[in-house]
Amino acid sequence: MAGPSALVLFGVTGDLARKKLLPAVYDLANRGLLPPGFGLVGFARRDWAAEHFAELVEDAVKEHARTEFREDVWKQLLEGIRFVPGDLADNEAFERLKATLTDLDESQGTGGNHAFYLSVPPGAFDVAVAQLRRHGLANRPKGSWRRVVIEKPFGHDLASARQLERKLGRAFEPSSIFRIDHYLGKETVQNLLAFRFANTMFEPIWNRTYIDHVQITMAEDIGIEGRAGYYDGIGAARDVIQNHLVQLLALTAMEEPTSFGADNLSAEKRKVLAAARTPSDLDAHTVHGQYGAGWAGGREVPGYLEEQGIPADSRTDTFAAIRVDIDNRRWAGVPFYLRTGKRLPRRVTEVALNLRRAPHLPFNGTDVRSLGSNALVLRIQPDEGITLRFGAKVPATPMELRDVNMDFGYDSSFAESSPEAYERLLLDVLLGSEPLFPQPEEVELSWKLLDPVLERWANLGTAPDHYVSGTWGPQSAADMLARDGFSWRRP
Ligand code: BG6
Protein backbone atom coordinates (compact mmCIF):
# COMPACT_ATOMS: atom_id res chain seq x y z
CA MET A 1 0.00 0.00 0.00
CA ALA A 2 1.27 3.46 -0.92
CA GLY A 3 2.03 5.94 1.85
CA PRO A 4 0.57 9.47 2.07
CA SER A 5 0.95 11.06 -1.37
CA ALA A 6 -0.56 13.03 -4.23
CA LEU A 7 -0.41 12.38 -7.96
CA VAL A 8 -0.46 15.29 -10.39
CA LEU A 9 -1.54 14.40 -13.92
CA PHE A 10 -0.43 16.77 -16.66
CA GLY A 11 -2.34 16.15 -19.89
CA VAL A 12 -5.30 14.85 -17.97
CA THR A 13 -7.70 15.44 -20.89
CA GLY A 14 -5.80 12.99 -23.10
CA ASP A 15 -6.68 9.45 -24.11
CA LEU A 16 -4.11 7.80 -21.86
CA ALA A 17 -5.42 9.55 -18.76
CA ARG A 18 -9.05 8.76 -19.56
CA LYS A 19 -8.61 5.14 -20.61
CA LYS A 20 -5.74 4.00 -18.42
CA LEU A 21 -4.43 6.34 -15.71
CA LEU A 22 -7.63 7.55 -14.03
CA PRO A 23 -9.21 4.06 -14.04
CA ALA A 24 -5.96 2.63 -12.64
CA VAL A 25 -6.03 5.15 -9.76
CA TYR A 26 -9.59 4.08 -8.93
CA ASP A 27 -8.72 0.35 -9.19
CA LEU A 28 -5.83 0.87 -6.78
CA ALA A 29 -8.14 2.70 -4.36
CA ASN A 30 -10.72 -0.06 -4.71
CA ARG A 31 -8.08 -2.69 -3.89
CA GLY A 32 -7.14 -0.75 -0.77
CA LEU A 33 -3.68 0.13 -2.08
CA LEU A 34 -3.98 3.92 -1.82
CA PRO A 35 -3.87 5.81 1.46
CA PRO A 36 -7.21 7.23 2.68
CA GLY A 37 -6.23 10.87 2.03
CA PHE A 38 -4.76 10.30 -1.43
CA GLY A 39 -4.58 13.43 -3.60
CA LEU A 40 -5.30 13.42 -7.34
CA VAL A 41 -4.69 16.68 -9.18
CA GLY A 42 -5.56 17.24 -12.83
CA PHE A 43 -3.72 19.97 -14.71
CA ALA A 44 -4.90 21.02 -18.17
CA ARG A 45 -5.60 23.96 -20.42
CA ARG A 46 -9.35 23.93 -19.75
CA ASP A 47 -11.44 26.40 -17.91
CA TRP A 48 -13.12 23.80 -15.74
CA ALA A 49 -14.50 23.93 -12.24
CA ALA A 50 -13.26 21.21 -9.89
CA GLU A 51 -16.72 19.56 -10.02
CA HIS A 52 -16.57 19.26 -13.77
CA PHE A 53 -13.21 17.57 -13.55
CA ALA A 54 -14.51 15.18 -10.90
CA GLU A 55 -17.40 14.22 -13.22
CA LEU A 56 -14.90 13.52 -15.99
CA VAL A 57 -12.89 11.28 -13.68
CA GLU A 58 -16.05 9.47 -12.59
CA ASP A 59 -17.08 8.85 -16.21
CA ALA A 60 -13.62 7.55 -17.09
CA VAL A 61 -13.68 5.25 -14.07
CA LYS A 62 -17.17 3.93 -14.80
CA GLU A 63 -16.29 3.28 -18.41
CA HIS A 64 -12.79 1.86 -18.12
CA ALA A 65 -12.00 0.65 -14.58
CA ARG A 66 -11.24 -3.05 -14.19
CA THR A 67 -12.92 -3.46 -10.82
CA GLU A 68 -16.55 -2.76 -9.92
CA PHE A 69 -17.70 0.76 -9.08
CA ARG A 70 -18.30 1.27 -5.34
CA GLU A 71 -19.82 4.47 -4.03
CA ASP A 72 -17.84 4.41 -0.77
CA VAL A 73 -14.49 4.06 -2.55
CA TRP A 74 -15.41 6.76 -5.05
CA LYS A 75 -16.57 9.18 -2.32
CA GLN A 76 -13.31 8.79 -0.46
CA LEU A 77 -11.25 9.33 -3.62
CA LEU A 78 -13.35 12.38 -4.48
CA GLU A 79 -12.24 14.13 -1.26
CA GLY A 80 -8.70 14.40 -2.65
CA ILE A 81 -9.55 15.32 -6.26
CA ARG A 82 -8.52 18.82 -7.42
CA PHE A 83 -8.22 20.57 -10.77
CA VAL A 84 -5.76 23.28 -11.77
CA PRO A 85 -6.53 25.06 -15.04
CA GLY A 86 -3.61 26.45 -16.95
CA ASP A 87 -1.01 26.27 -19.64
CA LEU A 88 2.37 24.63 -19.10
CA ALA A 89 4.10 27.94 -19.80
CA ASP A 90 1.87 29.84 -17.35
CA ASN A 91 3.74 30.77 -14.16
CA GLU A 92 0.57 31.65 -12.32
CA ALA A 93 -0.87 28.23 -13.04
CA PHE A 94 2.19 26.61 -11.45
CA GLU A 95 1.81 28.83 -8.41
CA ARG A 96 -1.84 27.70 -8.23
CA LEU A 97 -0.65 24.10 -8.49
CA LYS A 98 1.79 24.70 -5.67
CA ALA A 99 -0.94 26.19 -3.48
CA THR A 100 -3.24 23.27 -4.30
CA LEU A 101 -0.58 20.76 -3.26
CA THR A 102 0.13 22.65 -0.05
CA ASP A 103 -3.58 22.60 0.68
CA LEU A 104 -3.73 18.84 0.04
CA ASP A 105 -0.77 18.33 2.36
CA GLU A 106 -2.73 20.09 5.08
CA SER A 107 -6.29 18.89 4.45
CA GLN A 108 -5.60 15.35 3.20
CA GLY A 109 -2.27 14.67 4.88
CA THR A 110 -0.37 13.99 1.65
CA GLY A 111 2.86 14.79 3.48
CA GLY A 112 4.67 16.74 0.76
CA ASN A 113 5.02 13.53 -1.29
CA HIS A 114 4.17 14.44 -4.87
CA ALA A 115 4.45 12.51 -8.13
CA PHE A 116 4.20 14.46 -11.39
CA TYR A 117 3.00 12.39 -14.34
CA LEU A 118 3.82 14.06 -17.67
CA SER A 119 1.21 12.59 -19.99
CA VAL A 120 1.94 15.33 -22.52
CA PRO A 121 3.45 15.30 -26.04
CA PRO A 122 7.25 14.83 -25.97
CA GLY A 123 7.70 18.40 -27.22
CA ALA A 124 6.19 19.64 -23.94
CA PHE A 125 8.49 17.70 -21.57
CA ASP A 126 11.09 20.45 -21.47
CA VAL A 127 8.79 23.23 -20.42
CA ALA A 128 6.93 21.06 -17.89
CA VAL A 129 10.16 19.97 -16.19
CA ALA A 130 11.59 23.50 -16.25
CA GLN A 131 8.40 24.87 -14.67
CA LEU A 132 8.39 22.24 -11.92
CA ARG A 133 11.95 23.22 -11.14
CA ARG A 134 11.37 26.96 -11.33
CA HIS A 135 8.42 26.83 -8.95
CA GLY A 136 10.22 24.68 -6.43
CA LEU A 137 7.96 21.69 -7.01
CA ALA A 138 10.83 19.36 -7.87
CA ASN A 139 12.64 20.05 -4.58
CA ARG A 140 11.66 17.70 -1.84
CA PRO A 141 11.35 19.08 1.64
CA LYS A 142 13.20 16.99 4.22
CA GLY A 143 11.50 13.68 4.89
CA SER A 144 9.30 13.74 1.78
CA TRP A 145 9.72 12.84 -1.88
CA ARG A 146 9.14 14.34 -5.33
CA ARG A 147 9.02 12.09 -8.42
CA VAL A 148 8.51 12.64 -12.12
CA VAL A 149 7.01 10.11 -14.52
CA ILE A 150 7.52 10.31 -18.26
CA GLU A 151 5.98 8.33 -21.07
CA LYS A 152 7.78 7.16 -24.16
CA PRO A 153 8.96 8.12 -26.70
CA PHE A 154 12.12 8.89 -24.73
CA GLY A 155 13.54 11.05 -27.51
CA HIS A 156 13.54 10.46 -31.25
CA ASP A 157 16.98 8.92 -31.52
CA LEU A 158 20.08 8.47 -29.36
CA ALA A 159 21.14 12.12 -29.42
CA SER A 160 17.71 13.48 -28.44
CA ALA A 161 17.28 10.79 -25.77
CA ARG A 162 20.54 11.94 -24.16
CA GLN A 163 19.42 15.53 -24.33
CA LEU A 164 16.13 14.65 -22.62
CA GLU A 165 17.99 12.83 -19.85
CA ARG A 166 20.21 15.84 -19.23
CA LYS A 167 17.17 18.08 -18.86
CA LEU A 168 15.40 15.70 -16.50
CA GLY A 169 18.60 15.32 -14.51
CA ARG A 170 18.81 19.07 -13.89
CA ALA A 171 15.48 19.01 -12.03
CA PHE A 172 15.22 15.56 -10.45
CA GLU A 173 17.56 13.07 -8.79
CA PRO A 174 18.13 9.89 -10.87
CA SER A 175 16.12 7.73 -8.48
CA SER A 176 13.17 10.15 -8.76
CA ILE A 177 12.79 9.77 -12.53
CA PHE A 178 10.39 7.02 -13.65
CA ARG A 179 10.32 6.14 -17.35
CA ILE A 180 7.17 4.20 -18.16
CA ASP A 181 7.25 1.26 -20.53
CA HIS A 182 3.84 -0.18 -19.79
CA TYR A 183 4.79 -3.62 -21.12
CA LEU A 184 6.96 -4.10 -18.04
CA GLY A 185 3.84 -3.62 -15.92
CA LYS A 186 2.08 -6.57 -17.56
CA GLU A 187 1.81 -9.71 -15.45
CA THR A 188 2.82 -11.93 -18.37
CA VAL A 189 5.97 -9.90 -18.94
CA GLN A 190 6.97 -10.16 -15.28
CA ASN A 191 6.19 -13.85 -15.52
CA LEU A 192 9.01 -14.15 -18.05
CA LEU A 193 11.36 -13.75 -15.08
CA ALA A 194 9.45 -16.27 -12.97
CA PHE A 195 9.27 -18.75 -15.83
CA ARG A 196 12.96 -18.53 -16.62
CA PHE A 197 14.44 -18.30 -13.16
CA ALA A 198 12.05 -20.20 -10.89
CA ASN A 199 12.18 -23.45 -12.86
CA THR A 200 14.89 -25.93 -13.69
CA MET A 201 13.30 -27.44 -16.74
CA PHE A 202 13.75 -24.64 -19.28
CA GLU A 203 17.24 -23.31 -18.55
CA PRO A 204 19.03 -26.28 -20.17
CA ILE A 205 17.34 -25.60 -23.52
CA TRP A 206 17.49 -21.79 -23.30
CA ASN A 207 20.47 -21.38 -25.61
CA ARG A 208 21.93 -21.82 -29.08
CA THR A 209 22.26 -25.58 -28.69
CA TYR A 210 18.48 -26.04 -28.68
CA ILE A 211 16.97 -22.84 -29.93
CA ASP A 212 16.96 -22.20 -33.62
CA HIS A 213 15.45 -18.73 -33.74
CA VAL A 214 13.16 -16.48 -31.72
CA GLN A 215 10.17 -14.48 -32.96
CA ILE A 216 8.82 -11.62 -30.89
CA THR A 217 5.54 -10.32 -32.29
CA MET A 218 3.29 -7.50 -31.22
CA ALA A 219 0.41 -7.34 -33.67
CA GLU A 220 -2.55 -4.99 -33.49
CA ASP A 221 -5.74 -5.05 -35.52
CA ILE A 222 -6.48 -1.37 -34.86
CA GLY A 223 -5.25 1.48 -37.05
CA ILE A 224 -3.98 4.75 -35.61
CA GLU A 225 -7.34 5.53 -33.97
CA GLY A 226 -7.25 9.30 -34.32
CA ARG A 227 -3.70 9.57 -33.00
CA ALA A 228 -2.29 11.10 -36.21
CA GLY A 229 -0.63 13.94 -34.29
CA TYR A 230 1.34 11.53 -32.15
CA TYR A 231 1.95 8.71 -34.61
CA ASP A 232 2.89 10.33 -37.90
CA GLY A 233 6.64 10.83 -38.11
CA ILE A 234 7.15 8.41 -35.21
CA GLY A 235 6.01 5.13 -36.73
CA ALA A 236 5.95 1.53 -35.60
CA ALA A 237 9.67 1.05 -34.95
CA ARG A 238 9.94 4.06 -32.61
CA ASP A 239 6.50 3.55 -31.09
CA VAL A 240 6.87 -0.11 -30.22
CA ILE A 241 10.19 -1.77 -31.14
CA GLN A 242 12.44 0.79 -29.43
CA ASN A 243 10.72 0.21 -26.10
CA HIS A 244 8.27 -2.70 -25.69
CA LEU A 245 9.92 -5.21 -28.03
CA VAL A 246 13.49 -4.40 -27.06
CA GLN A 247 12.50 -4.88 -23.40
CA LEU A 248 10.92 -8.26 -24.25
CA LEU A 249 14.10 -9.19 -26.10
CA ALA A 250 16.23 -8.21 -23.11
CA LEU A 251 14.12 -10.20 -20.63
CA THR A 252 14.13 -13.24 -22.92
CA ALA A 253 17.84 -13.22 -23.67
CA MET A 254 19.53 -11.86 -20.53
CA GLU A 255 21.43 -13.91 -17.96
CA GLU A 256 20.06 -14.52 -14.48
CA PRO A 257 20.30 -11.35 -12.38
CA THR A 258 21.75 -11.57 -8.86
CA SER A 259 18.42 -10.22 -7.62
CA PHE A 260 15.35 -8.57 -9.07
CA GLY A 261 16.42 -5.24 -7.58
CA ALA A 262 16.54 -2.37 -10.08
CA ASP A 263 20.34 -2.24 -10.36
CA ASN A 264 20.92 -5.95 -10.77
CA LEU A 265 18.07 -6.40 -13.20
CA SER A 266 19.11 -3.45 -15.28
CA ALA A 267 22.76 -4.59 -15.27
CA GLU A 268 21.76 -7.86 -16.97
CA LYS A 269 19.48 -6.12 -19.45
CA ARG A 270 22.26 -3.69 -20.32
CA LYS A 271 24.77 -6.47 -20.79
CA VAL A 272 22.63 -8.33 -23.29
CA LEU A 273 21.54 -5.18 -25.11
CA ALA A 274 25.17 -4.16 -25.47
CA ALA A 275 25.79 -7.49 -27.23
CA ALA A 276 22.79 -7.05 -29.54
CA ARG A 277 23.18 -5.70 -33.07
CA THR A 278 21.32 -5.56 -36.35
CA PRO A 279 23.00 -7.30 -39.32
CA SER A 280 25.15 -5.13 -41.57
CA ASP A 281 22.95 -5.75 -44.61
CA LEU A 282 19.96 -3.81 -43.33
CA ASP A 283 18.02 -4.01 -46.59
CA ALA A 284 17.94 -7.79 -46.36
CA HIS A 285 17.16 -7.99 -42.65
CA THR A 286 14.72 -5.18 -41.92
CA VAL A 287 11.34 -4.24 -43.34
CA HIS A 288 9.16 -1.19 -42.96
CA GLY A 289 5.61 -1.20 -44.25
CA GLN A 290 2.50 0.95 -44.35
CA TYR A 291 -1.10 -0.27 -44.43
CA GLY A 292 -3.36 0.38 -47.36
CA ALA A 293 -7.13 0.09 -47.37
CA GLY A 294 -8.58 -3.30 -46.51
CA TRP A 295 -10.68 -5.03 -43.91
CA ALA A 296 -10.69 -5.08 -40.12
CA GLY A 297 -13.26 -6.69 -37.86
CA GLY A 298 -15.63 -7.31 -40.78
CA ARG A 299 -15.69 -3.71 -42.02
CA GLU A 300 -13.85 -1.85 -44.73
CA VAL A 301 -11.13 0.45 -43.41
CA PRO A 302 -9.10 3.23 -45.06
CA GLY A 303 -5.39 3.08 -45.74
CA TYR A 304 -2.92 4.98 -43.54
CA LEU A 305 -2.61 7.81 -46.06
CA GLU A 306 -6.38 8.27 -46.07
CA GLU A 307 -6.58 8.53 -42.25
CA GLN A 308 -7.55 11.94 -40.91
CA GLY A 309 -4.59 14.23 -40.31
CA ILE A 310 -2.04 12.14 -42.25
CA PRO A 311 -0.19 13.92 -45.08
CA ALA A 312 -0.82 12.22 -48.43
CA ASP A 313 2.92 11.61 -48.93
CA SER A 314 3.70 10.34 -45.40
CA ARG A 315 6.42 7.69 -45.21
CA THR A 316 5.68 6.71 -41.64
CA ASP A 317 5.99 2.97 -40.98
CA THR A 318 2.94 1.24 -39.53
CA PHE A 319 4.70 -2.14 -39.74
CA ALA A 320 8.29 -2.86 -38.85
CA ALA A 321 10.33 -6.04 -38.67
CA ILE A 322 14.01 -6.34 -37.83
CA ARG A 323 16.48 -9.11 -37.24
CA VAL A 324 18.70 -8.81 -34.19
CA ASP A 325 21.76 -10.96 -33.48
CA ILE A 326 23.29 -11.30 -30.05
CA ASP A 327 27.04 -11.69 -29.88
CA ASN A 328 27.52 -13.83 -26.82
CA ARG A 329 28.09 -17.47 -25.96
CA ARG A 330 24.43 -18.24 -25.25
CA TRP A 331 22.96 -16.78 -28.43
CA ALA A 332 25.63 -16.67 -31.17
CA GLY A 333 23.97 -17.75 -34.42
CA VAL A 334 20.39 -17.52 -33.10
CA PRO A 335 18.47 -14.75 -34.87
CA PHE A 336 15.83 -12.84 -32.93
CA TYR A 337 13.11 -11.43 -35.18
CA LEU A 338 11.10 -8.51 -33.87
CA ARG A 339 7.92 -7.46 -35.67
CA THR A 340 5.05 -5.15 -34.99
CA GLY A 341 2.26 -3.66 -37.03
CA LYS A 342 -1.09 -1.92 -37.04
CA ARG A 343 -4.05 -3.27 -39.01
CA LEU A 344 -2.81 -6.85 -38.88
CA PRO A 345 -5.40 -9.65 -38.64
CA ARG A 346 -5.59 -9.73 -34.85
CA ARG A 347 -4.27 -8.29 -31.60
CA VAL A 348 -1.63 -10.58 -30.19
CA THR A 349 1.72 -10.27 -28.46
CA GLU A 350 3.95 -13.29 -27.99
CA VAL A 351 7.53 -14.44 -27.61
CA ALA A 352 8.06 -17.67 -29.55
CA LEU A 353 11.20 -19.73 -29.06
CA ASN A 354 11.52 -22.17 -31.92
CA LEU A 355 13.64 -25.18 -31.18
CA ARG A 356 15.91 -27.06 -33.55
CA ARG A 357 14.50 -30.13 -35.23
CA ALA A 358 15.56 -33.51 -33.88
CA PRO A 359 18.86 -34.49 -35.49
CA HIS A 360 17.38 -37.77 -36.69
CA LEU A 361 13.76 -38.87 -37.07
CA PRO A 362 13.56 -42.67 -36.94
CA PHE A 363 10.18 -42.97 -38.64
CA ASN A 364 10.82 -45.00 -41.73
CA GLY A 365 8.02 -44.71 -44.20
CA THR A 366 6.31 -41.90 -42.28
CA ASP A 367 5.97 -38.44 -43.71
CA VAL A 368 7.65 -36.18 -41.17
CA ARG A 369 7.86 -33.12 -43.39
CA SER A 370 4.61 -31.71 -42.04
CA LEU A 371 5.97 -31.89 -38.52
CA GLY A 372 6.97 -28.42 -37.35
CA SER A 373 9.77 -27.77 -34.93
CA ASN A 374 9.12 -27.80 -31.20
CA ALA A 375 8.22 -24.38 -29.89
CA LEU A 376 7.76 -22.67 -26.59
CA VAL A 377 5.42 -19.71 -26.89
CA LEU A 378 5.01 -17.15 -24.12
CA ARG A 379 1.61 -15.64 -24.80
CA ILE A 380 1.81 -12.09 -23.47
CA GLN A 381 -1.72 -11.06 -24.54
CA PRO A 382 -4.64 -11.23 -24.97
CA ASP A 383 -4.94 -15.00 -24.38
CA GLU A 384 -2.41 -14.95 -21.53
CA GLY A 385 -0.47 -18.14 -21.01
CA ILE A 386 2.24 -20.42 -22.31
CA THR A 387 2.13 -23.03 -25.08
CA LEU A 388 4.51 -25.88 -25.64
CA ARG A 389 4.28 -27.34 -29.14
CA PHE A 390 5.60 -30.81 -29.91
CA GLY A 391 4.94 -33.74 -32.21
CA ALA A 392 2.69 -36.64 -31.18
CA LYS A 393 1.45 -39.86 -32.69
CA VAL A 394 -2.02 -39.63 -34.19
CA PRO A 395 -4.15 -42.35 -32.56
CA ALA A 396 -5.19 -45.32 -34.69
CA THR A 397 -2.49 -44.77 -37.28
CA PRO A 398 0.60 -46.95 -37.63
CA MET A 399 2.89 -43.98 -36.91
CA GLU A 400 1.46 -40.79 -38.24
CA LEU A 401 2.75 -37.66 -36.53
CA ARG A 402 1.15 -34.33 -35.89
CA ASP A 403 1.98 -31.17 -33.93
CA VAL A 404 0.01 -30.74 -30.72
CA ASN A 405 -0.06 -28.04 -28.04
CA MET A 406 0.23 -28.25 -24.29
CA ASP A 407 -1.27 -25.13 -22.75
CA PHE A 408 -1.06 -23.15 -19.55
CA GLY A 409 -3.69 -20.41 -19.35
CA TYR A 410 -3.90 -17.75 -16.65
CA ASP A 411 -7.69 -17.93 -16.75
CA SER A 412 -7.89 -21.60 -15.90
CA SER A 413 -4.97 -21.72 -13.45
CA PHE A 414 -5.58 -18.65 -11.31
CA ALA A 415 -8.73 -17.25 -9.72
CA GLU A 416 -7.22 -13.75 -9.48
CA SER A 417 -7.52 -11.59 -12.59
CA SER A 418 -4.43 -9.71 -13.74
CA PRO A 419 -4.20 -6.05 -12.73
CA GLU A 420 -3.74 -3.60 -15.57
CA ALA A 421 -0.12 -2.67 -16.27
CA TYR A 422 -0.76 0.93 -15.19
CA GLU A 423 -2.11 -0.14 -11.80
CA ARG A 424 1.15 -1.85 -10.99
CA LEU A 425 3.32 0.91 -12.41
CA LEU A 426 1.48 3.79 -10.73
CA LEU A 427 1.65 1.96 -7.41
CA ASP A 428 5.39 1.39 -7.91
CA VAL A 429 5.91 5.10 -8.58
CA LEU A 430 4.14 5.94 -5.31
CA LEU A 431 6.19 3.32 -3.50
CA GLY A 432 9.43 4.46 -5.13
CA SER A 433 10.05 0.95 -6.45
CA GLU A 434 12.24 1.10 -9.57
CA PRO A 435 12.75 -2.40 -11.04
CA LEU A 436 9.91 -2.20 -13.55
CA PHE A 437 11.12 1.06 -15.08
CA PRO A 438 13.79 1.13 -17.80
CA GLN A 439 17.01 2.83 -16.74
CA PRO A 440 18.48 5.54 -19.01
CA GLU A 441 21.30 3.26 -20.18
CA GLU A 442 18.75 0.73 -21.45
CA VAL A 443 16.99 3.48 -23.36
CA GLU A 444 20.32 4.55 -24.89
CA LEU A 445 21.23 1.01 -25.89
CA SER A 446 17.92 0.45 -27.59
CA TRP A 447 18.38 3.63 -29.63
CA LYS A 448 21.89 2.46 -30.52
CA LEU A 449 20.33 -0.72 -31.87
CA LEU A 450 17.62 1.06 -33.80
CA ASP A 451 19.27 4.27 -35.04
CA PRO A 452 21.12 2.65 -37.98
CA VAL A 453 17.88 1.02 -39.14
CA LEU A 454 15.89 4.26 -38.94
CA GLU A 455 18.67 6.13 -40.73
CA ARG A 456 18.78 3.53 -43.47
CA TRP A 457 15.03 3.72 -44.01
CA ALA A 458 15.15 7.53 -44.11
CA ASN A 459 18.05 7.49 -46.58
CA LEU A 460 16.36 5.02 -48.89
CA GLY A 461 14.03 7.83 -49.90
CA THR A 462 11.30 5.36 -50.88
CA ALA A 463 7.86 4.77 -49.41
CA PRO A 464 7.47 1.89 -46.94
CA ASP A 465 6.27 -1.39 -48.46
CA HIS A 466 2.53 -1.55 -48.94
CA TYR A 467 0.30 -4.09 -47.23
CA VAL A 468 -3.42 -4.58 -47.26
CA SER A 469 -5.19 -3.92 -43.94
CA GLY A 470 -6.13 -7.21 -42.34
CA THR A 471 -3.09 -9.13 -43.64
CA TRP A 472 0.16 -10.06 -41.85
CA GLY A 473 2.21 -7.21 -43.35
CA PRO A 474 4.07 -6.69 -46.62
CA GLN A 475 5.37 -9.53 -48.77
CA SER A 476 8.89 -8.26 -48.06
CA ALA A 477 8.48 -9.38 -44.41
CA ALA A 478 7.80 -12.95 -45.51
CA ASP A 479 10.73 -12.75 -47.93
CA MET A 480 13.03 -11.48 -45.17
CA LEU A 481 12.45 -14.64 -43.12
CA ALA A 482 12.37 -16.96 -46.12
CA ARG A 483 15.91 -15.87 -47.00
CA ASP A 484 17.01 -17.18 -43.59
CA GLY A 485 15.05 -20.41 -44.11
CA PHE A 486 12.19 -19.55 -41.73
CA SER A 487 8.61 -18.35 -41.87
CA TRP A 488 6.63 -16.12 -39.55
CA ARG A 489 4.25 -17.68 -37.12
CA ARG A 490 0.55 -16.97 -37.66
CA PRO A 491 -0.45 -16.66 -34.01
C1 BG6 B 1 1.53 1.91 -26.95
C2 BG6 B 1 1.65 2.39 -28.37
O3 BG6 B 1 2.75 2.02 -26.29
O4 BG6 B 1 1.11 0.56 -26.93
C5 BG6 B 1 0.35 2.18 -29.12
O6 BG6 B 1 1.99 3.76 -28.39
C7 BG6 B 1 -0.14 0.76 -28.97
O8 BG6 B 1 0.52 2.51 -30.49
C9 BG6 B 1 -0.14 0.36 -27.50
O10 BG6 B 1 -1.45 0.68 -29.52
C11 BG6 B 1 -0.52 -1.10 -27.34
O12 BG6 B 1 -0.58 -1.43 -25.99
P13 BG6 B 1 -1.22 -2.80 -25.51
O14 BG6 B 1 -0.97 -2.84 -24.05
O15 BG6 B 1 -2.67 -2.74 -25.88
O16 BG6 B 1 -0.51 -3.87 -26.27
pLDDT tens per residue, range 153-166: 899 999 999 999 99
Give the mean model confidence (pLDDT) for residues 268-290: 98
pLDDT band, very low/low/confident/very high, at 360 (cuts 50, 70, 90): confident
Residue nearest (by alpha carbon) to ligand 1 atom 11? 220
Going from the C-alpha of 34 to that of each of 5, 108, 281, 469, the distances in angstroms are: 9, 13, 51, 43
State pTM to two decimals.
0.97
- The pLDDT assigned to 43 comes to 97
Kindly give the distance from the C-alpha atom of residue 199 to the centroid of ligand 1, in angstroms, as a whole number.
Answer: 30
pLDDT per position as a tens digit, 52-91: 999 999 999 999 999 999 999 999 999 999 999 999 999 9
Of the residues 114, 244, 285, 288, only one is catalytic, namely 244
Please state the φ and ψ torsions of residue 51, each to the nearest 5 degrees. -65, -40
Q: 302 with 470: CB under 8 angstroms?
A: no
| Residue of 297 and 147 predicted with greater confidence | 147
Q: Taking residues 99-128, what's their average pLDDT?
A: 95
Q: Is 244 a catalytic residue?
A: yes
Q: For residue 361, what pLDDT band results from cuts at 50, 70 and 90?
A: confident
**Whose Cα sits closest to atom 8 in ligand 1?**
239
Q: Looking at per-residue confidence, does 447 or 47 come out higher?
A: 447
Confidence band for 370, pLDDT divided at 50, 70 and 90: confident
| Mutational pocket test of ligand 1: of 151, 244, 343, the residue with most ligand atoms within 8 Å of the beta carbon | 244
Q: Is the CB of 220 under 6 A from ligand 1?
A: yes
Higher-pLDDT residue of 15, 23 = 23
Question: Given this model, what pLDDT does residue 122 score?
Answer: 83
The more confidently predicted of residues 371 and 182 is: 182
Q: How far apart are CA 150 and CA 315, in angstroms?
A: 27
Pocket probe mutation, ligand 1, options 20, 234, 239, 318, max atoms within 8 Å of Cβ: 239
pLDDT tens digits for range 89-112: 999 999 999 999 999 999 999 999
The CA 319 to ligand 1 mean position distance, Å, reads 13
For ligand 1, say whether the CB of 239 is within 6 Å of any of its atoms: yes
* Residue 349 Cα: closest atom of ligand 1: 16
Question: CA of 464: how far to CAs of 118, 215, 315, 474, in Å?
Answer: 32, 22, 6, 9
* Gap from CA of 182 to ligand 1 centroid (Å): 8
- The mean predicted confidence, pLDDT, of the chain is 96
The sign of the CA dihedral 72, 73, 76, 82 is negative
Counting atoms of ligand 1 from 1, which one is nearest the CA of 222? 10
Percent with pLDDT over 70 in the chain: 100
The listed range with the strongest mean pLDDT (73-82, 120-129, 358-367) is 73-82
Provide mean pLDDT across the span 216-220: 98
pLDDT confidence band for 342 (50 / 70 / 90): very high
Q: What is the pLDDT of residue 339?
A: 98
Amino acid making up residue 141: P
pLDDT of residue 366: 74
20 CA to centre of ligand 1 in angstroms: 11
The confidence band for 421, taking pLDDT boundaries of 50, 70 and 90, is: very high
CA distance 172 to 116: 11
Does the pLDDT of residue 325 top 90, yes or no?
yes
